[in-house]
């Protein structure tokens, strides 16, 4: 049972345009969400996160939106650059008092076309 789903395995976007990556979750106990980026032959790299008490978090070109009622989050990259081409994983966390479990989606491969 996939508790975190990234339904689009791949996405292609023109350089300079907006990239929107989506993620849905089913567990209402998740209260912290993260996005990671992964290049081939490397480990994932943390990109941005959002707590469930917020609905938006921005860091430079990257913005994460959280819609708790829809159990949906999205990552917006504006403007998209060729170096953004990578696999993006959405992750959710649940737990308390320093004991947390992390559930990852299957990833979306983003290709930014020059």
Q: Give the binding site for another protein (CB under 8 A).
A: 2, 4, 6, 32, 36, 41-46, 49, 89, 91, 93, 95, 98-107
**What are the beta bridge partners of residue 112?**
13
Nearer to another protein, 24 or 44 (CB): 44
Question: In angstroms, what is the minimal distance from the CB of 107 to another protein?
Answer: 6
d(CA 20, CA 77): 7
Q: What are phi and psi of 61, to 5 degrees?
A: -80, -5
Question: In angstroms, what is the minimal distance from the CB of 15 to another protein?
Answer: 27
| Tokens describing residue 89 | 């994983």
Q: Is residue 112 a contact partner of residue 11, using CB atoms and an 8 Å limit?
A: no
Nearer to another protein, 16 or 95 (CB): 95
Closest by CA position to 2, among listed 34, 37, 30? 30
Nearer to another protein, 36 or 86 (CB): 36
Question: In angstroms, what is the minimal distance from the CB of 60 to another protein?
Answer: 16
Question: In angstroms, what is the minimal distance from the CB of 77 to another protein?
Answer: 19
Q: Is residue 105 a contact partner of residue 8, using CB atoms and an 8 Å limit?
A: no
Nearer to another protein, 41 or 114 (CB): 41
């Amino acid at each position: 049972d996939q508790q975190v789903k990234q339904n689009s395995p791949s996405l292609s976007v023109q350089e300079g345009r907006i990239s929107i990556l989506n993620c849905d979750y089913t567990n209402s106990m998740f209260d912290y969400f993260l996005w990671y980026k992964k290049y081939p032959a490397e480990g994932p790299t943390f990109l941005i996160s959002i707590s469930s008490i917020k609905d938006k978090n921005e860091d430079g070109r990257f913005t994460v939106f959280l819609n708790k009622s829809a159990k949906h989050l999205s990552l917006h990259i504006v403007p998209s650059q060729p170096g953004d081409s990578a696999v993006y994983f959405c992750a959710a966390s649940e737990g308390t008092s320093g004991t947390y479990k992390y559930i990852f989606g299957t990833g979306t491969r983003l290709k930014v076309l020059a």
